[in-house]
Copies of this chain bind each other. A is one copy, B any other.
Amino acid sequence: VKLTKTIKHFDWEIQFFEHSSVSTKTTMKFSVFLPDPKKVPDSALIWLSGLTCNEENFILKSGFAHHMADSNTMIICPDTSPRDLNLACEHESYDFGSWAGFYVNATTKDFKDNYNMYDYINTEIYNLVTKFFKIKATKISIFWHSMGGHWALIIWLNNPEKYQSISAFSPIVNPINAPWGKKAFEWYLGSNKKDWEKYDATVLLQKWNVHKKLILIDQGTNDDFLKSELLTNNLQKAADLSQQKIQINMREWYDHSYYFISTFLGNHIDFHLQHLK
């Protein structure tokens, strides 16, 4: 793990790292907010970014620093895909390949060696948090935007004790029924739709998984992707059926961007800090 850059921001430092990833067989980058580089933080928040983002979007645009004053909580922001490869169709669209790893373990010929972002987050980032940054395993929460959504919901439903709390802005929740998800899953996982279901939060929740803790979601009503790609309502229905506690705040007029995230970020950070206490 190599520190590549340190930038001063408010009274703190933002650190940028790179490391050699076993899951992707590439050099992966991540950014970190550390309240005090000389002290082990009490807890950690993992942020998973969306399409077209990398390890810097959240740190630069969210205004998180306005909400961290009294906490000793770190934030870690992984990148959203492997980089510096040259695979088939990898760089041709914003919604597939680089910038768009979709946090799955690919099984198709072209992508299975590198596009293993599920393992990358679940094993490698998790190990970085607990071993390199020395955070206690009971002091980690996770939140995300858009594409990060289905991964975090899935890991949360499959590993009920692994994270103290999760929350989301504008998450993709039912990718097997949306154009972004269908394209990515076909290319990463092949054409057998049964194989897609383990990466679909709505399916998982309908079928068997209920989590005892509340899922917090904020969603803008003016989000261009709400009706075609995100399908928030399908998760609400699945939660109603399975009696999962879920709070979906539909926010009138807000869109899919960091203008929206930064507006409600304080609520989400407070929610996590409560659970991490």
The answer to whether B263 and A9 touch across the interface, beta carbons within 8 angstroms, is yes
Judged by a CB distance under 8 angstroms, whether A30 is at the interface is no
> Measured between alpha carbons, how far is A65 from B260 in the docked complex, in Å?
12
Within 8 A of B (CB), among A34-77: 60-61, 63, 65-66
The answer to whether B8 and A222 touch across the interface, beta carbons within 8 angstroms, is yes
Contact with B along A239-265 (1 / 0, CB 8 A): 000000000000111110111101100
For A61, the chain B residues whose CB sits under 8 A away are 60-61
Residue from the list B7, B222, B258, B263 in contact with A257, Cβ < 8 A: B7
Judged by a CB distance under 8 angstroms, whether A132 is at the interface is no
Contacts A63-B66, A66-B63 given; indicate if A7 touches B259 (C-beta within 8 A).
yes
> Measured between alpha carbons, how far is A63 from B65 in the docked complex, in Å?
10
Judged by a CB distance under 8 angstroms, whether A104 is at the interface is no
Judged by a CB distance under 8 angstroms, whether A14 is at the interface is yes
> Measured between alpha carbons, how far is A187 from B163 in the docked complex, in Å?
57
16 A–B contacts, CB within 8 A, in A order: A7-B255, A7-B259, A8-B220, A8-B222, A8-B251, A8-B252, A8-B253, A8-B254, A8-B259, A8-B263, A9-B260, A9-B262, A10-B263, A61-B61, A63-B63, A63-B65
